């Protein structure tokens, strides 16, 4: 048993793909046309960190309820965790690429951590070894 995908609700597909692939360095695994339950066009877009098993389904918001969830999927808490082998290298690359960090790097008992925002405004921990 494993978790294959988690969904992140975004405003639009293409800027989200650009953020995850160009700024974070994820792979674009799939970008296929699809349909909503009532027949409207949508896309099945999956990104995944290189070498990871679990991917992210980029789901375009559809309607008021989903629009309200963009950037607030976990009620303002950190809800996503990106583990890297070389924290300082990843942090500097992400800062140079324009990723918005809302905390400075710090060392905790579990390792190095800094909080950043994805394109939708969701909070992520960048995590590395202590």
CATH of the domain at 11: 3.10.180.10
**pLDDT score, position 116:** 98
The whole-model pTM stands at: 0.93
**pLDDT score, position 81:** 97
Three-state DSSP at 30 gives strand
**pLDDT score, position 130:** 86
User: Is the pLDDT reported for residue 39 higher than 90?
Assistant: no
User: Is the pLDDT reported for residue 37 higher than 90?
Assistant: no
Per residue in 9-31, pLDDT (tens digit) is: 999 999 999 999 999 999 999 99
Return the beta strands (E) in the chain as ranges.
5-10, 27-35, 41-48, 55-60, 78-83, 100-101, 106-108, 111-117, 123-128
Count the domains in the chain: 1
Q: Which domain holds residue 51?
A: 5-128
Per residue in 79-122, pLDDT (tens digit) is: 999 999 999 999 999 999 999 999 999 999 999 999 999 999 99
Interior CA angle at 23 toward 90 and 107, to 5°?
30
């Amino acid at each position: 048993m494993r978790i294959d995908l988690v969904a992140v609700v975004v405003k639009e597909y293409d800027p989200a793909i650009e953020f995850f692939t160009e700024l974070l360095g994820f792979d674009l695994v799939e970008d296929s046309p699809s349909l909503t339950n009532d027949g409207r066009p949508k896309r099945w877009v999956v990104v995944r960190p290189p070498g990871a098993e679990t991917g992210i389904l980029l789901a375009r918001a559809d309607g008021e309820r989903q629009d309200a969830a963009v950037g607030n999927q976990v009620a303002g808490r950190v809800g996503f965790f990106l583990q890297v082998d070389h924290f300082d290298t990843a942090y500097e690359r992400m800062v140079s690429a324009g990723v918005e960090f809302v905390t400075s790097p710090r060392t905790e008992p579990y390792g190095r951590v800094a909080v950043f925002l994805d394109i939708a405004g969701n909070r992520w921990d960048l995590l590395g070894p202590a």
